[in-house]
Structures are given as C-alpha cells and as structure tokens.
Amino acid sequence: MSDLQSQVSEPIYSDLAQSDPAFSEIVELFVDGLTQRLDAMQDALQANDMDRLRRLVHQLKGSGGGHGYPTLSQNASQLEQQVLQGATGEINQGLEELADLVARIKVLP
C-alpha cells in the first residue's frame, strides 16, 4: 500500500478525547451526528441554498476543531471558501472529500 493510500484510509482520532477521555462521550455524540450534517449539506446544495450550505459548513468548521478534529475544520474551511466563491463543481468535490474524511473519523483508538 502506498503512503497516499494509507493516509486516505487511516482513521482520524479526536485530539480532545485522546488528551482527556472524559470528553469521549461528548465527542462520540458529535461523531454520531456527522452523517446527518453531511446529508443536510447535500440537501442544501441540491436546493441551491448556498446561504444554508455556507452556514452548515461554517458550523462544522468550528465544531470540528472544538471536538478535537483540526483536519475536519481545515477541510470545512476550504469548502466554505468554495461555497462563498460559488464554485459548484468544486463544492461537489469538496463535499465528496468531506464525506471521505468523515468516514475515517473515530473517537478513540
């Protein structure tokens, strides 16, 4: 397996839950809600509601970092910029990348 393939499939763990396992329940609730957030973003994109999509992505940007997932925040930040620029093709790709990232997110090793 190449380094790139291993990075793509490698799990991402919460920095917060690893540094203080007392937060693992809170982080788990956040992780459990990520699929629903992605669905809401897809719905907003399909409805061409860019204001709602931007708000959802902005919220994820903040809450991702707050729950110990800086990579998620960085990805959401890039997607937010794409939404602000109205780059539909890039937004679709950004949402796919976000979904791939979310699939790798775990609470603790």
> Please, which residues bridge with residue 105 across strands?
12
pLDDT of residue 89: 87
* H helices present in 1-109, as ranges: 3-9, 15-19, 24-32, 34-46, 50-66, 70-85, 88-104
Domain of residue 63: give its range: 22-103
CATH number where 26 lies:
1.20.120.160
- Counting the structural domains of the chain, the total is 1
pLDDT of residue 8: 62
> Is-contact 72 101, C-beta < 8 A?
yes
Q: What's the whole-number average pLDDT of the chain? A: 92
pLDDT of residue 7: 52
Provide the pLDDT confidence category of residue 12 given band limits of 50, 70 and 90. Answer: very high
Whether residue 78 is contained in a domain is answered as yes
Residue 19 pLDDT more than 80?
yes
40-75 confidence digits (pLDDT tens): 999 999 999 999 999 999 999 999 999 999 999 999
77-95 confidence digits (pLDDT tens): 999 999 999 888 899 999 9
Whether residue 73 is contained in a domain is answered as yes
Whether residue 12 is contained in a domain is answered as no
